[in-house]
A and B are shown apart, each in its own frame.
Chain A
Amino acid sequence: MAIIEQRLGATDGWVKMPDGNLFYIMGFVDITGVPETAVVSYRGKARLIAPLVEAKVGDEVYLTLTNLGFPGRPDLDDSHTVHWHGFPNQIPLYDGVPEASVAVRVGRDFDYYYKPLDPGTYMYHCHFEPVEHIQMGMVGPLIARPRDYDPGVPALKTAYGSGTGTEFAREYFVFLTELDARAHEFMVLVQEYDWSEYRADYYLINGRAYPDTVKDNGDPSLPSQPFSARIKANTGDRVLLRFVNLGYQQHAIEIVGIPLHVAGVDAQRPVGLNGEDLSYGKNVLYVAPGQTYDVMFTAPAPGTYPLYNRNCHKNMNAGVAPGGMVSEVAVHPGTLPPQPGPNA
């Protein structure tokens, strides 16, 4: 069992939408291994979405949160936390709820400790003033791998452990959020926002709106939005999609021509008390805020299969189509090299 040390900076930054609009965000940035003297250079470099946190069952994760402050809002001295959403049997100290434990002040560090015992897809987010900090972008994906996970052995490259029928060749998180333009504008203009007026203008997958969703990981035009939402596979590959919803609305995702099989919900296999297999198929996956779904499919014949939101008004950028929660599954005829890691 490994010890994983990861360090996240909490700060602010800017994201770009395909129509050219820039939006102020709050978020996390990976500062693992960054020398103490260089940490300050990550102020203002928040990412949407936050870095992937990944561990195996039995690993010990020491996650350090450093509050780097908001260079774009020097008047604000908000604290932050990390909440591992869904972690079973958590204690308040590591749960990141400021009202029930502690938060991290500007310029300070705090170590969270997790020893995951149940595999699956989770999420993490800041829980300080959560209606604001989550919408502003302090959200990230989290994968707990089964204890016997071994990416070099096909039978052990699984979502839920050997023998659970969750072997996969490739995996992608499909991380759903929305962006309310006024909320972000008010934030940078130092104005109070009435959250009951919440209205989504942009619908994002992995922090991007279409057509940016299909650009590569680390596309230089999107320095704060490193994650592509394009899914790639070879014909016949078993593909695992890890859906997370950290928006404030339900979303209904369909992949044209590719039925989905639900192998996990909320980091639990659908299994009855006596081991009954309750997994099921879906054509359109309906995901609520705070839920995760582990969904599998076998990549069909080579070609491009669009992914979109069956809440069709969400396939737009500020009311203009095409945009929003649209991406694609690109199936290759066996020419793709093995996937080096999630979403790679």
Chain B
Amino acid sequence: MLRNVDLWTRDGFFSTPDGSSIYFWGLASREDGKAQLPGPLIVVQQGDTVRINLTNTLPEATSLLFPGQEGVTVDDGTGPRPVQPRFGPGGVLTSFTDYADYPDNPMANPTRVTYAFTPENPGTYLYWSGTNVHRQVLMGLHGCLIVRPADYDESVPARRTAYGEGTGTEFDREYVLVLAEVDPELNYNVEHGFPYRVRDYKPRYWTMNGRCAVDTMLPSGVGYLPTQPYGSMITAEPGEKVLFRYAGGGIENHPLHPHGNHTRIVGLDGRLLRNGATDLSYKRFTVLVGPGQTYDQIFIWTGLGFDPVTHPIPTVLPQLQNLAVGHAGNTLWSGSAYLGLKGDLPVGVADLNDMGEYYFMLHSHEEVQITNWGKYPGGLMTMVAVFPSGRLGERHGRIPYTESVPV
């Protein structure tokens, strides 16, 4: 199938929960759309002919790299040819790949190029700028690419997989977490044309799908985060297989740790962890996500069988006045030890719990990364919400099958 994906580079502002509005460079999926952070999630299928039409509106040339894809071609209006690095005067490398020039360049190269490739392998990939990478990748020009296996069929559980039927990668729900970090001073310097010195890089914000906690827990597409369309709240029911797709979009390491259970890592950088008949998958409770790395993992929470009648908890819950409930005036706790039950909460604590669901934190264990400019809570943190069986509904955690997910 031919898949056309249109992208426009554009500048914009994203916001942080502590009230900052930060200049960034991003990608829009419509000509009149806003830049978004990270770039649009692109979902294609193994064997598709994927054409990425990139139009540049930034004040410098830009490009896209597709790590993990082979045989990438570029077409700047003269017909497709294999992508090549670009060199400037004196043979100095100016771009890792062919680029779309900036408007009004006196050299008048095209501002629009089309990259094309046919993904050979299913899995999770990143795409990012290949030009002035020390600035453009950090400024926000990166995003996630999902390649569905050729036999993918959302309606058939055995074929709703990350890597194809029989690979042990079936999932009930899936979530993408693109990780990055931001030094607002560098972004400010780019905005105002001041010298940009990446050696002074000192991140103050850490982003999960372009948002800092606690905004990570808001739904996708909330109107007041127009350039940060993707939420990171993970929802599941007990026993379900939840596919976590971690992707390192920034330049730092992020050791992500989900509460609730280990994950089984089934794919690395878009490659199934299997050699012939030998399974190489493994379980972790903390995964160190490095720059440019992707990790496909299955998370399952089954619980321990606690039930108020058949298997009550073996401790006595103290009186409410003897407990500290609610952090910063609200709580995700149901007031009960049991899944699906609600109990009393102290007066004055806002109840954010819907139906007795459980919340498990998922966060970076490099704890400075769970702050917003040094203040907890923030940064690389979200929750895995486990709902009582049959209560969540199917639509959560189902990424449209062959769509680039729009703003």
Interface residues of A (CB under 8 A from B): 60, 62, 79, 83, 85-86, 88-93, 95, 97-105, 108-113, 115, 127, 129-132, 134-135, 193-198, 248-250, 265-268, 270-274, 276, 278, 288-291
Contact = CB atoms under 8 A, between A and B. Distances in A.
A237 B317 CA distance: 46
B322 A105 contact: yes
A111 B316 contact: yes
Q: Which 4 A-B pairs have the closest CB atoms?
A: A290-B365, A194-B374, A272-B279, A290-B286
B337 A93 contact: yes
Nearest to A274: B279
A91 B262 contact: no
B254 to A, nearest CB: 9
Contacts of B360: 90, 92, 95, 97, 100
Given A86-B285, A89-B303, A273-B281, A100 B361 contact: yes
B180 interface: no
Interface in B287-321: 288, 301-304, 306, 313-318
Given A110-B323, A113-B314, A272-B282, A92 B370 contact: no
Interface string B327-352: 10001110001010000000000000
Interface residues of B, number: 59
Contact of A89 (B261, B324, B374): B261
Interface string B241-284: 00000000000010101011110000000000000011111111
Name the residue among A99, A105, A250 with the largest chain B CB count within 10 angstroms: A99
A196 B205 CA distance: 8
B282 to A, nearest CB: 5
A265 B282 contact: yes
Q: Which of A60, A88, A250, A271 has the most CB of B within 10 A?
A: A88
B115 interface: no
Contacts of A110: 318, 323
A86 B306 CA distance: 19
A270 B278 CA distance: 13
Nearest to B277: A274
Given A105-B322, A111-B315, A115-B304, A278 B280 contact: yes
Contacts of A267: 285
A138 to B, nearest CB: 12
Contacts of B284: 265-266, 268, 291
B255 A90 contact: no
Nearest to B323: A102
Contacts of A250: 253, 255, 288
Contacts of B374: 193-197
B367 A134 contact: yes
A195 B286 CA distance: 22
Contacts of A195: 367-368, 371, 374-376
Contact of A270 (B204, B282, B317): B282
B68 interface: no
Contact of B257 (A90, A265, A290): A290
B358 interface: yes
Contacts of B317: 93
Given A62-B315, A92-B333, A288-B253, A272 B260 contact: no
B314 A104 contact: no
Nearest to B261: A88
B262 A268 contact: yes
B290 to A, nearest CB: 10
B259 A95 contact: yes
A100 B204 CA distance: 25
Contacts of A248: 366-368
A96 to B, nearest CB: 9
A60 B325 CA distance: 26
Contacts of B204: 196
A13 to B, nearest CB: 21
A102 B277 CA distance: 46
A135 B302 contact: no
B383 interface: yes
B367 A289 contact: yes
Nearest to A268: B283
Contact of A194 (B277, B358, B370, B373): B373
Contacts of A273: 168, 279, 281
Given A89-B301, A288-B255, A100 B332 contact: yes
B86 interface: no
B359 interface: yes
Contacts of A288: 253, 255, 286, 288, 365-366
Contacts of B366: 248-249, 288-289
Given A103-B324, A196-B368, 16 more contacts: A85-B285, A88-B262, A89-B304, A90-B360, A98-B327, A100-B333, A102-B333, A105-B324, A108-B322, A113-B314, A131-B367, A249-B366, A266-B283, A274-B277, A288-B253, A289-B255
Nearest to B319: A108
A73 B288 CA distance: 35
B324 A79 contact: yes
Nearest to A104: B324
Max count, chain A CB within 10 A of own CB: residue among B203, B318, B367: B367
A132 B371 CA distance: 11
A271 B284 CA distance: 11
A105 B325 CA distance: 9
Contacts of A101: 333
Given A195-B368, A274-B279, A288-B288, A99 B361 contact: yes
B226 interface: no
Nearest to A287: B288
B337 A91 contact: yes
A265 B376 CA distance: 29
A108 B280 CA distance: 47
B323 A86 contact: no
Among B253, B302, B324, residue most surrounded by chain A Cβ atoms (within 10 Å): B324
B25 to A, nearest CB: 22
A90 B333 CA distance: 14
A196 B203 contact: yes
Interface in B371-407: 371, 373-377, 383
Contact of A266 (B286, B331, B337, B376): B286
Contacts of A291: 255, 284-286, 288
A101 B323 CA distance: 10
Given A196-B204, A266-B283, A268-B262, A130 B376 contact: yes
A278 B282 contact: yes
Contacts of A93: 313, 317, 337
Contacts of A134: 367
B202 interface: yes
Nearest to A272: B279
Given A100-B383, A130-B376, A290-B286, A85 B367 contact: no
